[in-house]
């Protein structure tokens, strides 16, 4: 086809021949879709998956994606680790207000669970008293609440260890699981006490449920307060010194135990060698005595035989 924009006298520009599109399985001519990325081959395979047949000819061959380049993980230097440790130990750099606030948080975190024992255990014991004896009812209520309080403090310490990078997930998960069951039972008992055995409806019932949930989450709040425990660099250094001293003492004790075990093994070997020598000597002495006795007996038999022979021949008679 001749281009009209071609000036006269110049060779005409002829368009290159176009290749017709390849027919598909249904016999129709398919228009090739433009490729936009390396995932087009997977998209074509997914689209052809519902047709019941997927052939390599129907899949458009896109560029093979390059494997991801894994950059090496940068290890922190000793100075960076030390700097992070110093940043965590901020108790020595706090002002008086921050220290008082931290002390108040720790006080509430430790006393709050046991205060809830008194305020929740008493109404629960009173609620269970009509169907149980008075002492078992109150004892059961206070015991369960004391266990919840102890688990609350244990959870707070676990959260503090997780926040400081010394996580012990097995203990934390166990404490959280038991705490959830016991706290749910306690919250249900509080709901029965507040509702007096019947479930109110409407806003009153919703407010009662929210109040019970707030009481149940009071222990969790105390655990969260225990997580924000200040750490002193001086106390940290002192604890490191104590740990180093304890490690040295344990190493000395371990070496002493190993030396004692080695000495005991050597003594046992020496004892076995001595017993073996004594057994060998006893065996040799027994063999020597046996040989001497056999020699003496043989000589005595020989002398007796000689005496009998002389007597038969008449020697020695007068």
Mean per-residue pLDDT, 221-240: 77
- Give the DSSP letter string of 56-114: TTTS--PPPPPPPP-PPPPPPPHHHHHHHHHHH--GGG--HHHHHHHHHHHHHHHHHHH
**Residue 296 pLDDT > 70, yes or no?**
yes
Residue 306 has pLDDT above 90, yes or no: no
Percent of the chain with pLDDT over 70: 68
pLDDT at 78: 77
What's the pLDDT score for residue 257? 93
pTM of the model: 0.48
User: Taking residues 200-204, what's their average pLDDT?
Assistant: 75
Whole-number Å distance between alpha carbons of 50 and 58: 13
Helices (H), 165-232: 169-195, 202-216, 218-227
Q: What is the DSSP letter of 203?
A: H
Over residues 178-196, the mean pLDDT reads 84
How many Å apart are CA 261 and CA 269, to the nearest integer?
A: 12
Structure confidence by residue, pLDDT tens digits, 168-180: 788 888 888 888 8
Q: What are phi and psi of 29, to 5 degrees?
A: -90, 125
Q: How confident is the model at residue 67 (pLDDT cuts 50, 70, 90)?
A: low
The answer to whether 141 and 125 have CB atoms below 8 angstroms apart is yes
Q: In whole angstroms, what is the distance from residue 312 CA to residue 306 CA? A: 10
Long-range contacts of 231-234 (CB under 8 A, 24+ apart): 231/88, 231/89, 231/90, 231/91, 231/164, 232/89, 232/91, 232/92, 233/86, 233/89, 233/91, 233/92, 234/92
For residue 215, pLDDT beyond 60:
yes
- Mean pLDDT across the stretch 3-28? 49
More reliable by pLDDT, 204 or 311 = 204
**Residue 184 banded pLDDT, cuts 50, 70, 90:** confident
Task: Average the pLDDT over 183-188 and give the result.
Answer: 86
Determine the distance from the C-alpha atom of residue 32 to the mean position of all C-alpha atoms in its chain, rounded to a whole number. Answer: 55
Q: Do residues 230 and 90 lie in contact, with contact meaning Cβ atoms separated by under 8 Å?
A: yes
pLDDT at residue 281 greater than cutoff 80: yes
CB 24 within 8 A of CB 58: yes
Instruction: Write the pLDDT tens digit of every residue in 77-88.
Output: 778 777 777 766
Confidence of residue 209 (pLDDT cuts 50, 70, 90): confident
Q: What is the mean pLDDT of residues 50-59?
A: 48
Percent of the chain with pLDDT over 90: 8
**43 compared with 292, residue with greater pLDDT:** 292
Per-residue pLDDT of 103-156, as tens digits, reads 888 888 888 888 888 888 888 888 888 888 888 888 888 998 899 888 888 888
Of the two residues 147 and 49, the one the predictor is more confident about is 147
């Amino acid at each position: 086809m001749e281009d009209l924009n071609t000036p006269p006298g110049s060779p005409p520009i002829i368009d290159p021949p176009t290749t017709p599109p390849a027919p598909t399985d249904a016999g129709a001519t398919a228009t090739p879709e433009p490729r936009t990325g390396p995932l087009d081959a997977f998209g074509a395979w997914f689209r052809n998956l519902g047709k019941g047949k997927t052939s390599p000819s129907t899949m458009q061959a896109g560029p093979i994606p390059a494997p991801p380049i894994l950059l090496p993980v940068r290890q922190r230097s000793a100075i960076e680790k030390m700097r992070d440790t110093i940043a965590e130990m901020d108790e020595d750099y706090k002002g008086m207000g921050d220290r008082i606030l931290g002390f108040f948080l720790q006080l509430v975190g430790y006393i709050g669970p046991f205060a809830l024992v008194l305020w929740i255990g008493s109404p629960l014991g009173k609620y269970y008293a009509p169907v149980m004896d008075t002492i078992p009812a109150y004892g059961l209520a206070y015991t369960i609440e004391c266990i919840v309080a102890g688990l609350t403090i244990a959870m707070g310490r676990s959260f503090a260890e997780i926040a400081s990078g010394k996580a012990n997930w097995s203990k934390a998960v166990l404490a959280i699981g038991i705490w959830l069951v016991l706290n749910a039972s306690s919250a249900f008992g509080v709901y029965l006490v507040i509702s007096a055995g019947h479930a109110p409806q409407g806003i009153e019932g919703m407010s009662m449920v929210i109040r019970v949930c707030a009481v149940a989450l009071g222990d969790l709040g105390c655990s969260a307060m225990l997580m924000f425990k200040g750490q002193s660099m001086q106390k940290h250094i002192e604890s490191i010194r104590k740990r180093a001293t304890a490690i040295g003492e344990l190493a000395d004790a371990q070496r002493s135990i190993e030396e004692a075990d080695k000495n005991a093994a050597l003594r046992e070997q020496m004892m076995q060698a001595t017993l073996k020598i004594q057994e060998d000597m006893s065996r040799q002495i027994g063999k020597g005595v046996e040989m001497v006795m056999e020699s003496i007996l043989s000589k005595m038999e020989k002398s007796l035989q000689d005496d009998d022979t002389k007597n038969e021949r008449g020697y020695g008679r007068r």
